[in-house]
Amino acid sequence: MGRIDKGITCSVSGCNKDATRSISADKVKSSGLNASVSERRAYLCKEHYKEYKKRTRKDKMFEKWRYKG
């Protein structure tokens, strides 16, 4: 049973919703989300995870192109 199942809240400051995803804290900070993280993992609710995916879409695409060939 992990932390999400136990009911940890979202790591983004000002959000008190239950977390649904766990992501590396470095990736969340580099995406520009205002997350208060003191551990290696950041926990995001559904809405902030959707925002994280939108902000990192281009970076993922460039990495995919970089290692394709």
Number of domains in the chain: 1
Range of 44's domain? 3-66
Distance between CA atoms of 33 and 10, rounded to whole angstroms? 12
Q: What is the pLDDT of residue 39?
A: 82
Q: What is the pLDDT of residue 17?
A: 95
Q: What is the pLDDT of residue 35?
A: 85
Distance between CA atoms of 68 and 50, rounded to whole angstroms? 26
Residue 69 has pLDDT above 70, yes or no: no
Residue 1 has pLDDT above 80, yes or no: no
Distance between CA atoms of 55 and 58, rounded to whole angstroms? 7
pLDDT digits (tens, 9 = 90+) for 18-58: 999 999 999 998 898 888 877 899 999 999 999 999 999 99
Distance between CA atoms of 57 and 69, rounded to whole angstroms? 20
Residue 68 has pLDDT above 90, yes or no: no
